[in-house]
Structure 1
Amino acid sequence: MGAYLLGVVLFALGIAVTIALHEAGHMLTARAFGMRVRRYFIGFGPTVFSFRRGHTTYGLAALPIGGFCDIAGMTAQDPVTAEEAPHAMVNKPWWQRVIVLSGGVITNVLIGIIIIYGIAVSSGLPNPDVDTTPTVGEVSCVADQLDAQTLATCTGSGPAGQAGVTVGDRVLALDGEELADFGQLRDKVLTMPGEDVVLTIERGSEVLDITVPVGSVTRLDAEGRPYTAGAVGLTNAPLENTIINYGPVEAVGATLSFTGTLLEGTVQGLMAFPSKIPGVVASIFGAERDMEGPMSVVGASRVGGELVERSLWEMFWLMLASLNFFLALFNIVPLPPLDGGHIAVVLWEKVRDFFRRLRGLAPAGPANYEKLLPLTYAMAAALLTVGLMVIVADVVNPVRLFG
């Protein structure tokens, strides 16, 4: 329990540091271009403590679920004093505004890259070319499930063993469909109790087709309810060469390559995000929680605790890197109040003024953000609602990596 709580606290602290550095990215780039930073706060709501240094008030608020960097004149509707006007963001060149608005996103990406590089040189990164073809590590009988941890006693070699499958066989396909990994084989067999399947086996230099009658066994779902499932009595052999260790120089290329893979997965996750929300709501009322669904700070910290409890520090740091990539890509979604929404407005101003020049007109000046207030409020309300639902789900039905 002590290790679990340590992991929860450390991951929550990692999230807080991530938020702090995201906002610092905005603050430092703003100052680099001579913009006035009024406030730099971690959290929202009532102020816990604050102090002032120069023109900036630094503080911690009661709800550490975000943060903000208040830059004078972020929009034309933001009042500025005569003394602030030369330092107002809205009066700076468009490209400087875009860089400042992107500062947090860039910081999150850099944090993720640094974490991955540290993993690469300390404990190694997953091998992208590992052979995941299902390889038989054990042939056994099949038995009913008695509870979450126990199977009934059984004897014999099981359906696959009786059909002629042996340890060391590589299972290339099931009923002619190629298999990417053992999980795919298991999931397909699970839905075929009482049927015959043809396993395409590679044994040395031979490729064989072996017909295996799928056994029918009792399994328990997440709520402990029994159902009939298929089983053939095969266990996967441990994968080999799954981790590659890198030296300081080699790790640079490996880090960039692995970062690209994680960013690609993050984009796919963001695209699937809206479709995952109904499942989160259903999980609040007892439905099975999707392991790949969204998690809040609460849920991510609990998972961090599970990883530390089992000394899986590499996975702990990889999850924190993934979180930084998610925050980066989520923030560039071109909708207010996200950073991407503000960037979209600045770019729209630039495109609009380009076409005005073609027509011999003067630039129209900064956009009127008051017209965007309904969309901003709607997006803020939607994000708050979704965030609260995910937090509730993480409390009443959290994601558990290890059962």
Structure 2
Amino acid sequence: MSYIIGVVLFALGICVSVALHEAGHMVTAKAFGMKVRRYFVGFGPTVFSWRRGETEYGLKWIPLGGFCDIAGMTALDEVTPDEAPRAMWRFKTWKRTVVMSAGSITHFILGFVVLYLMAVTMGLPNLAGPTTTEPVLASTSCARSATTKEQAQDPTCPPGAARPAQAAGLRAGDKIVAIGGKPIATWDEMLATVQATSGPTEFDVQRGDQRLSLVVDVPKVQRWSSSGVKEVGMIGASPQLPAATTQYGPVAAVGATFSFTGTMFSETAQRLVEFPERIPAVVTAIFGGERDPNTPVSVVGASRIGGEAVERGIWVLFFFLLASLNFFIGVFNLLPLLPLDGGHIAVVWYERVRDWIRARRGKVAGGPVDYTRLSGITMVLVLIGGAVTLLTVTADIVNPIRLQ
């Protein structure tokens, strides 16, 4: 049941995001005096609608998006005589740019708000993943041989297994300062030093305000690694990993959220660049291949992951995915490709630059771009977008990405 609730909540979050995207277009268009004919949430048959002023508002049966109908978005749009003076294409370039980019800006604001609320409540996740910077023990265990990958990944200690760290008096929270007189700064240094050691060895330990010297009898064991089985020293200890999230106060969270948002924008841009080369892996997954967790997902796939996150109680992941999706949609929508908003913005600025050049040459303005000449390119891009959507939805149904 919690899984279904998670899926529904995530899908609802996406629907609200898209509805607010269109609301961003509507609010800015009205603010500049453009005529907004209709604002609807969803597609398909109308459930209900009402008119307030000159705009019809309503809800449609299929809650997958929405639309904002602004009179005269392009010069090809039909407008009535009373709408003509307020047609969108007649307004200044910067005003049209603001209106068309308002949808993406709304996504960015939503993503930022979600991240800020996470920062002051559950904390922001560590995008770099768990890393160890100091040789601090989280726990002690046993030192045992493991000659296969499966054995190495199994944390179970067999009965009677030696526990060198515990036997020497090492505890959780102890910081290893030196081993055999050699200073230790990181867990990796400690691991390498222990693996090259055997027999009674002096460990200098910082325990709170105390500085201790403990002798650990380091045994040699057979351990599997990607390069083969090797005989190494082992004391049976696990590192203390940094917290998965970092929580902030209301003021500090503002700067932390801005910094985190910048990182997410960078990663979003990188994913967009890698997007085309990951499509073949989606096709492979559809026909039974292993699903690469880095392949693109559709709204269906994102909702399923959101459902799994709720099922496991990982709300940090749920809201992080929701914020990530908002950033991705916002950036993607600004790509200079029709029929995306970014494509319309590109056309608007092409007209502006073209007319500026013509004015320098003593010529009159060239007039609005003829969108019929771009219809072929637009149709190709629509077909490609539809095909990619179909592939990702299919992969998310037959071979979805799952939480490990």
TM band (smaller chain)? 0.7 to 0.9
Alignment match, 1:373: 375
- What is the correspondence of 1:209-228 to structure 2 with a 5 Å cutoff? 215=224
1:67–1:283 distance in 2 versus 1, CA, 3 Å: same
Give the aligned partner of residue 330 of structure 2.
328
Aligned to 1:114: 113
Q: Quote the Cα distance in structure 1 between the aligned partners of 2:349 and 2:332.
A: 18
Compared with structure 1, are the counterparts of its residues 30 and 60 closer, same or farther at alpha carbon in structure 2 (3 Å cutoff)?
same
Contact 1:65 1:297 in 2 (8 A): no
Q: Aligned residues, how many?
A: 358
Cα distance in 2 for partners of 1:381, 1:278 equals 17
Contact 1:130–1:240 at 8 Å: present in 2 too? no
**Aligned residue number for residue 194 of structure 1:** none
Find 2:274's aligned residue among 272, 275, 281.
272
CA deviations 1:100-125 (Å, max 9, x no partner) are: 00000110000011111111111222
Q: Output aligned runs, 1:203-352, within 5 Å.
A: 215=224, 237-352=239-354
Would the alpha carbon gap of residues 200 and 283 (structure 1) be closer, same or farther in structure 2, given more than 3 Å must change?
A: farther
Residues 194-242 of structure 1 show CA distances to partners (whole Å, capped at 9, x for unaligned) of: xxxx9799x869xxxxx9975389xxxxxxxxxx997999985341244
Residue 318 of structure 1 aligns to a residue whose secondary structure is helix
Equivalent position amino acid for 1:30 in 2: A
1:32 is matched with 31
Taking the aligned partners of 1:100 and 1:34, their CA distance within structure 2 comes to 11
1:73 maps to 72
Maintained 8 Å contact 2:147/2:229: no
**Structure 1 portions without partners, runs of 5+:** 171-179, 183-197, 206-210, 218-227
Aligned partners of 1:393, 1:128: CA distance in 2, in Å?
26
Greater CA radius of gyration, 1 or 2?
A: 2
CA contact (8 A) 1:334 1:344 kept: yes
- For 1:396, the equivalent position in structure 2 comes to 398
Residue type at the aligned position of 1:73 = G
Change (3 A) 1:156 1:384: farther
Q: CA deviation at 1:44?
A: 3.2
CA apart distance, 1:341: 0.4
Corresponding residue of 2:365: 363
Structure 1, 353-362 or 289-298: larger mean CA deviation: 289-298
Q: List per-residue Cα deviations over 1:45-71 (Å, max 9, x = no partner).
A: 444443333322333344433322111
SS of match in other structure, 1:360: coil
Deviation readout 1:331-368 (Å, 9 max, x if unpaired): 01100001100000001011001100110011111111
Write the distance in 1 (CA, Å) between the matches of 2:379 and 2:43.
17
Structure 2 Cα separation of the partners of residues 271 and 350 of structure 1: 28
TM-score, normalised relative to structure 1: 0.77
Instruction: Call closer, same or farther: CA 1:79–1:131 in 2, change over 3 Å.
Output: closer
Tell me, in whole angstroms, the C-alpha distance in 2 between the residues paired with 1:296 and 1:95.
33
Change (3 A) 1:35 1:129: same
Q: Which residue of 2 aligns with 1:96?
A: 95
Q: Relative to structure 1, is the Cα distance of residues 332 and 61 closer, same or farther in structure 2, using a 3 angstrom cutoff? A: same
Residue 287 of structure 1: SS of its match in structure 2?
coil
Once residues 235 and 46 of structure 1 are traced to their aligned partners in structure 2, the CA distance between those partners, rounded to angstroms, is 63
Aligned to 2:81: 82
Q: 1:163-194: per-residue Cα shift (whole Å, max 9, x none)?
A: xxx99899xxxxxxxxx999xxxxxxxxxxxx
Question: How far is the alpha carbon of 1:275 from its aligned partner?
Answer: 1.0
CA shift in 2, pair 1:121/1:355, >3 Å: same
CA contact (8 A) 2:132 2:241 kept: no
What is the rounded CA distance, in whole Å, between the counterparts of 1:330 and 1:13 in structure 2? 20
- d(CA) in 1 for partners of 2:237, 2:276: 36
Whole-Å separation in 1 of the counterparts to 2:380 and 2:45: 23
Distance 1:140 1:352, change over 3 A: farther
Structure 1 residues 130 and 381, CA gap change in structure 2 (3 angstroms): closer
Aligned to 1:57: 56
Q: 1:23 to 1:153 in 2, by over 3 A?
A: same
TM-score (norm 2): 0.77
Secondary structure of the structure 2 residue equivalent to 1:323: helix
1:88 Cα offset (Å): 0.9
Contact 2:21 2:104 in 1 (8 A): yes
Q: Is the 8 A contact 1:34 1:87 kept in 2?
A: yes
